[in-house]
Amino acid sequence: MLEDDSALAQTARRLFQRAYQLQQRGKLADAIRLYKESLAHYPTAEAHTYLGWTYARLHRYEAAIEACHNAIALDAEFGNPYNDIGVYYIELGWWREASAWFEKAIAAPRYDNREFAHFNLGRVHEHLGQYQTAAACYATALKLNPAYEQARQARRLVLGKLN
């Protein structure tokens, strides 16, 4: 997350870790407070992205999207916030708008889980009735992560719609 070893960066790292632990325990208000405190010490794309995840768990998708845009402003190469914006757009019912964000996630130089963006792009295509393209997206997700069971099930179901 942080490569800077300054005192501010170290404090931000500790706050981020505490916020993440609170988020995992469902203490979302406290997690939001600590993510914001971490960002005040040393802003990172990761902290903005995780803040967005926390907002999303509260169904505050507009705030989550704003946090992701802040992440992208700090590090346009970080793929997670692009994927997350797409997911939040889906939650808001903006399926067509979501597609471009998954494409950006797939193209991002720094993204360790591209299979999620391929899977989510498949969800968009499936929702739009583009089953062949959806199946290809799910297949790509599986190629990137053969253990991705959700992609395997989605591909099997969409292939069933083609028959």
Name all domains of the chain by residue range, CATH numbers in brackets.
1-81 (1.25.40.10)
Give the DSSP letter string of 39-88.
HHHS--HHHHHHHHHHHHHTT-HHHHHHHHHHHHHH-TTB-HHHHHHHHH
Is residue 4 helix, strand or coil? coil
The string of pLDDT tens digits covering residues 74-127 is 999 999 999 999 999 999 999 999 999 999 999 999 999 999 999 999 999 999
Q: Residue 4: is its pLDDT beyond 90?
A: no
Give, as one character, the DSSP assignment of residue 25: T
Query: The pTM is what?
Result: 0.92
The string of pLDDT tens digits covering residues 129-163 is 999 999 999 999 999 999 999 999 999 999 999 87
Q: Tally DSSP H helices, then E strands, for the chain.
A: 9, 0
Tracing tokens 């203490």 back to the chain, one arrives at: 27
Q: What is the pLDDT of residue 6?
A: 87
Q: What is the pLDDT of residue 103?
A: 98
Cα 8 to Cα 32: distance, rounded to the nearest angstrom: 19
Q: Residue 1: is its pLDDT beyond 80?
A: no
Q: Residue 21: is its pLDDT beyond 60?
A: yes
The string of pLDDT tens digits covering residues 41-66 is 999 999 999 999 999 999 999 999 99
